Amino acid sequence: AQSVTQLGSHVSVSEGALVLLRCNYSSSVPPYLFWYVQYPNQGLQLLLKYTTGATLVKGINGFEAEFKKSETSFHLTKPSAHMSDAAEYFCAVSSSGGSYIPTFGRGTSLIVHP
């Protein structure tokens, strides 16, 4: 079985401030982890993914995430928020234990203040 918990349904930051969106997962087998972004009235777009190898992964738009097995976490960060980063962010996990069907968290809405 696999699951994802995203802490905080809303995160508010000032433009230029650090962005930190939290994601914890549960998986009985090695997971594959993803962060997606959804802009209003659009589908989901992949930001970054972890499969194997380097635990710090870099994605588009300056985002990065670190896979920490000991903490079962895959938090998303960006050093400096931009107004255009305002969107809904989803963490997802897939694994052989879940038939490789991605399981998504409830999402975190990122609000960026000028």
Residues near another protein (CB under 8 A) are 6, 9, 32, 34, 36, 41-46, 49, 51-52, 90, 94, 99-107
Write out the E strands in 15-86.
Answer: 19-27, 32-38, 44-50, 56-58, 64-68, 73-78
Q: Which is nearer to another protein, 23 or 81 (CB)?
A: 23
d(CA 79, CA 10): 18
* In the complex, minimum distance from the CB of residue 89 to another protein, in angstroms, rounded to a whole number: 11
Write down the least CB distance from residue 50 to another protein, Å. 9
The residue (of 19 and 93) whose beta carbon lies closer to another protein is 93
